[in-house]
Structure 1
């Protein structure tokens, strides 16, 4: 939680202008564009919030400019190229989604806040940001996405001259990589470019189901649980962020046998976190538990998806075991499961996933007893430059619509100047104590 210097939660006032609909700066085609069968799965029908904090000053020529005006005008120009964003989702037969390119526009809000960047944390900004309701207009997860604006953006000026860009984007239109591409397009236009350097590519037919569809791979992420799981109590939930730099990663690797030392940092971390979390939640030893993680599959295709493709191209492979096996075995047991699941993500896996959507009616992810993790450290949210330099923080604003299930990795530099990954975790208070104890034991090589 963001805290004031006194240790109390940070409280500030935001004055918002009326929400505006920003439409493309020039006429755009009015057409119906089908989404892919990866895009329109049930679990992506929500709006994902992201946030970027910027310092004041600005690069040459931007020192005296108003970021609200600059970004609003650049957004209208960007919608000429990304005109589906200005449309509305429609649902057809078989729950098939399409975008009606109506040019109705995206929601934009201008705001001012009586707070400074330093009060938010300055160079040590860490998610999740519980003040999101002040910095992002209207974020009702339950409101649905059909027939509604596909993007909400609020630009808030701060007292220090800095500003905050917060947005929520309909996940069915894009994944995180595609969203960063869109934001970079807006930023380039804001800095005076005639057009985005990477032009958008729609081509959603590249990831449509085959005819006839054939599910050739195992997709545990969509399997129903074998039996009714014990629900997690959501009372007394707390958030805490954990830093993993070179020292911590080296310590965790000391728990790994020689034949698994080649594992990636991502594989090592998610295995460690899954094990600690499973121990902390104290499931029945016979209950099934799962780990899901996001994998960008753009490079898995032959030929690769075209540069500029901004649709969803991620897989969410799931591994499952029993709580007793995860807790009763050493870390390498979970790590082996993770490596096997990651290696299964191929072009055929993605084709099979698209076919499953049609065969099973676009089922949602199974999130009971599941831990969902994504790594956005290399996506470049913080590199988006509207003319005021890179963001002091850029990335997810919180753990999404399922904070008790999901975590993400963001790039972070600690007080010692070490670069690493910051991971926000949400757990009931009692479980958090156990999680910390288990993590510390692994870091000491004493699981």
Structure 2
């Protein structure tokens, strides 16, 4: 059977249902490092609601009254760019699929339906004044289930902020008069948060060019038996430390398996790990703040140490890096050479690095348009320039088996070896 997604034509602009302030919002330094980067969050709902596309479109319009920056556009250029709250709207597409969600494995492995068919895409960087800050597609399946794909300019919100917005849309779809969380987009009290991207962009200016890489798409499950074993071993060897988290165990496993797959038995070259950290609690962000409030923490190790070391030791490296976050925030540094040179910064721009961004605990699995929470949530990036993984992507149907990880971290050349390493966990 050929699976076909048919999109409504043309797309429509969903505007706020009531007048909104014609304001301009200056991006923070953290927003600026992510401006023009687009991401998509796919939410797979097994249980249907009455006319899902129309129900969500109406709720979206009402939510934009409270989250009106999403309905705006970029204005200005360079360091003078701002979010212009024009109320032009969010691009919205309704689509239908000629199959059930079960037919396409709920978008899990093996992949039989392209995620690209289920989303509206920018087609590249999204920094033009005409580019919407958010686009949404609702695809209705023959079984009554549906998929909501929210694609957004990362400059206007991080994943935690997106989750807050989508939960608000869900609340209004379920009949609430207003969102339960009062949104805050501008917080003048926020300090500057040190950003790894600032250092990498200096490398770009020095001649390093970032381009799209066709990384293989991987949707894997790290078994609970492995996670629990690592947590127990860490606890017995580091009794005085905080317990090993699921994120740390899973990320350490992915880091090691990938390094083995691309480097064989390792070597002296650096194989750094970079993970994103939500620092709202550290910097005292206001409740309801949905702009970017994240920093990237670097874990430095050689390929040999990662490939041949004990996975518990890798967990310790990750945990120690997390513990350093408050100090780095207070000193407004990342503890790296910010001149743009050096072996480490060069490694961070290459295939040997691995970038991890947890999708657990952000609230993305709490989105409910009336039929219950999603069966799974899938992160996706249209433009892929550096190897990346998303540990903890919500997947209720596999909760009893293990932790879902969505990855774009190896090229086809190393895919078989990567899968073989994962199979040994």
The reply to whether TM is greater than 0.5 is yes
- Preserved CA contact (<8 Å) 1:300 1:347: no
- 1:393–1:182 Cα change, 3 Å: same
Q: Trace 1:29-428 onto structure 2 (pairs within 5 A).
A: 29-41=21-33, 43-58=34-49, 65-92=50-77, 95-122=79-106, 125=108, 131-144=114-127, 146-209=129-192, 222=199, 238-253=216-231, 256=234, 258-260=236-238, 262-282=243-263, 285-301=267-283, 304-346=284-326, 349=329, 352=332, 366-368=348-350, 369-396=352-379, 398=380, 401-402=383-384, 405-409=387-391, 410-413=393-396, 418=400, 420-426=402-408, 427-428=410-411
Q: Distance in 2 between matches of 1:70 and 1:143?
A: 28
- Within 2, Cα distance between the matches of 1:18 and 1:134? 15
Aligned partners of 2:40 and 2:152 also within 8 Å: yes
Q: For 1:127 and 1:190, how far apart are their aligned partners in 2?
A: 33
3-state SS in 2 of match to 1:164: strand
Between the two proteins, the alignment pairs up a number of residues equal to 408
Shift of 1:104: 1.1
- Give the superposition deviation at 1:386: 1.0
Question: So what's the TM-score if we normalise by structure 2?
Answer: 0.83
Contact 2:124 2:382 in 1 (8 A): no
Report the RMSD for the aligned CA atoms in angstroms.
3.6
Task: State the 1:125 CA deviation.
Answer: 4.0
Contact 1:384 1:390 (8 Å CA) reproduced:
yes
- Contact 1:326 1:333 survives alignment (8 Å): no
- Give the gaps of 5 or more residues in structure 2: none
TM-fit CA distance, 1:183: 0.6
SS at match of 1:207: coil
Q: Where does the alignment leave 5 or more consecutive residues of structure 1 unmatched?
A: 5-9, 59-64
Does the CA contact (< 8 Å) of 1:38 and 1:208 recur in 2? no
1:3-57 CA distance string (max 9 Å, x none): x7xxxxx63141422111111111111121111111111x453111111122354
- Verify the 8 A CA contact 1:135 1:154 in the aligned structure 2: yes
Write the distance in 1 (CA, Å) between the matches of 2:153 and 2:88. Answer: 15
Q: Kindly provide the CA deviation profile for residues 59-117 of structure 1, in whole angstroms up to 9, marking residues without a partner as x.
A: xxxxxx31222111111111111111111112445x24321111111111122221222
- TM-score of the aligned structures, taking structure 1 as reference length: 0.80
Q: Secondary structure at the match of 2:61?
A: helix
Whether the aligned pair in 2 keeps the contact of 1:411 and 1:420 (CA below 8 Å) is no
Counterparts in 2 of 1:347 and 1:327: CA distance versus 1, 3 Å: closer
